[in-house]
A = this chain, B = another copy of it.
Amino acid sequence: MPTRPPIPTIRTVASRVGVSVATVSRTLKNPDKVRPDTRDAVLRAVADLGFVPNAQARNFRRQASDTVILLVRDIGNPFYLDVYKGVEEAASAAGYKVLMGDARRDPARVALHVDMVRARHADGLILMTGSLPPSLPGDFLPPIVAALEYPAAGPLPLVRIDNAAAAETAVSYLVGLGHRRIAHVSGPIPEVMSAARADGWRRALEAAGEAVDPALMVWGDFSLDAGRRAVDHLLDAGVRFTALFAANDEMAAGALNALRARGLRVPEDVSVVGFDDTVFATAVDPPLTTIRQPKREIGAAAMRLMVQRLAEGPRFRAEVVVPTELVIRRSASPPGQPAREAERPAAALATP
């Protein structure tokens, strides 16, 4: 019965070359501090044996894991996939690994991931949950970078978008098409992000000289079903509107379904605009005009901030605002008209 060759350690390499383990270690970390011919011999042995330094021993010794946790609110949301991609890109460029964690909207699970940092499973936490456990035992605050959602817990490096300005851009676009009665399906309102998007909607209407009819605004929870219910609610209440701005694409897609179910055409009868530009935006028919969040770039920026934070210590502060843009597809048109615009980014309408 063949016995599997044991995984080589630094000692295996050293004895094969006839040098000490320190020399092997140096060759791998500071090649220029080793005479070229010893270095070559060592490298050859490393390749021959397929030696990979034991990451556990290495990390243990260095007191670092080269791993960060990306903690999201709900891992079932495809939005985070693109953010993850950006994080992963920036991470692997900097020699880091990424663990994605799911908070499931549960503060206890946030605490659990904080403990993973404290247990040195990971070096830091990229938080997209908007909240932090109220008190950490022993006053331990791990390296944290916040992305998109901002916990009230004090100054933290942050990457975000300008939600209000982006929403205002979207609604102003509808105003520009000739709409005046523009409904808004917002996110949960106590939340900062939802409130900011609602503010943008309000500002755009006011800028157009419109009174803001409170009946035009309905709350949702960012789900498909919330979009459907919002439309049903508006129509049942007899609220007149020719356009609808949803605080995310999923609710916009739900709105599309409900409008069609009630016999209304999009965009001829009602124009719809979403937010995020997720995978839903192009899967539905008509494809959604929406605000694109540069999700990859948000992730990459957050990871870059994490690298800096890890290097510079707890006093590091930064705020990165990434630009959004309006993507024009076919779900919005002048009142009563079919769609005309082809899909294209509207550079002129970019928001800071």
A interface with B by C-beta (< 8 Å): 4-5, 7-8, 47, 49-50, 52-57, 59-60, 63, 65, 67, 75-76, 78, 81-82, 84-85, 88, 97-100, 102, 115-116, 118-121, 136-140, 224, 250, 253, 256-257, 260, 279-280, 282-285, 314
Query: In the assembly, what is the distance between CA of A52 and CA of B112, in Å?
Result: 11
By the criterion CB–CB under 8 Å, are A140 and B50 in contact?
yes
Chain B residue, CB-CB nearest to A49? B138
Alpha-carbon distance between A250 and B280 when the two chains are bound, in angstroms:
11
- Do the beta carbons of A52 and B285 come within 8 Å of each other? no
Output the least CB separation between A200 and chain B (Å): 25
Q: Do B55 and A119 have beta carbons less than 8 Å apart? A: yes
The closest CB in chain B to the CB of A254 belongs to B283
**Is there an interface contact between A76 and B85, defined as CB atoms closer than 8 Å?**
yes
Could you list some 14 contacts between A and B, CB below 8 A? A4-B314, A7-B138, A50-B137, A54-B119, A54-B120, A55-B120, A55-B121, A56-B59, A97-B116, A98-B99, A99-B99, A250-B283, A256-B285, A279-B279
Residues on B with C-beta less than 8 A from A285 are 256-257, 260, 284-285
Q: State how many copies of this chain the complex holds.
A: 2
Residues of B within 8 A of A119 (CB): 52-55
Q: Which residues does chain B contribute within 8 Å of A314, judged by CB atoms?
A: 4
- Report B-chain residues with C-beta under 8 Å of the C-beta of A282: 224
CB distance from A23 to the nearest CB of B (A): 20
Tell me the nearest residue of chain B to A2, going by C-beta: B139
Question: In the complex, which of the residues B5, B53, B82, B136 contacts A138, with contact meaning CB atoms closer than 8 Å?
Answer: B5
A220 to chain B, nearest CB (A): 15
Nearest residue (CB) in B for A58 is: B119
Q: How many angstroms between the C-alpha atoms of A118 and B54 in the bound complex?
A: 8
Q: Is the CB of A283 within 8 A of B56?
A: no
Measured between C-beta atoms, what is the minimum distance from A284 to chain B in Å?
6
Residues in B with CB closer than 8 Å to A84 are: 75, 100
Nearest to A258 among chain B residues (CB) is B285
Contacts of A253 in B (CB 8 A): 283
Known: A97-B121, A98-B99, A257-B285. 9 other contacts (CB 8 A): A5-B140, A52-B115, A56-B60, A85-B102, A88-B102, A97-B116, A224-B282, A224-B283, A285-B285
What residue in chain B is nearest A63 (Cβ atoms)? B56
Distance in Å: Cβ of A249 to nearest Cβ of chain B: 9
Task: List, in ascending order, chain B residues with CB within 8 A of A257's CB.
Answer: 285
Give the residues in chain B near A5, CB-CB below 8 Å. Answer: 138-140
